[in-house]
Amino acid sequence: MIVLGMGNDMIDIRRIERSLERWGERFINRVYTDIEIEKSERRANRAASYAKRFAAKEACAKALGTGFDKGVYMRDLGVVNLPGGKPTIALTGGAARHLESMTPTGFVARLELTITDDDPWAQAIVLISAIPLEYAAIMKQVT
């Protein structure tokens, strides 16, 4: 395994709450994917849910080494949950292209995400690694 990047972000949930109050759907639609919106709107504390996802996007942009520059936009990074509930990040657009360009030939990239909140804070950590293609194929057969 090769570590390609790591990012961490922490945000005050009240900051996201103020953005939701001030900008509403304009803010939501500019920052979040449809899946993230659907998930967060079902939560009792929607601001905390949106804040965790915001922190995950920031952490992932740091792990990519781009920030929100070089064609990487917030909606290119979407928090999704695997069937068991574990969160991960799906990359599209410029973020996906950048990840592909930083992944060595013969390897496949893996993204690990952990998110948490403890009012008034939300935090995310992203680890991007690469494993050899043959190892990835073996892991697929086992799971």
Residue 9, annotated as binding a ligand:
yes
Q: According to the annotation, is 58 in a ligand binding site?
A: yes
Per the structure, the count of domains in the chain is 1
Domain that holds residue 23: 2-142
Q: What is the pTM of this model?
A: 0.93
What letter represents residue 92's amino acid?
T
DSSP 76-124: GEEEEE-TTS-EEEEE-HHHHHHHHHHSPTTEEEEEEEEEEEETTEEEE
Per-residue pLDDT of the chain (143 residues; tens, 9 = 90+): 999 999 999 999 999 999 999 999 999 999 999 999 999 999 999 999 999 999 999 999 999 999 999 999 999 999 999 999 999 999 999 999 999 999 999 999 999 999 999 999 999 999 999 999 887 767 666 55
CATH of the domain at 35: 3.90.470.20
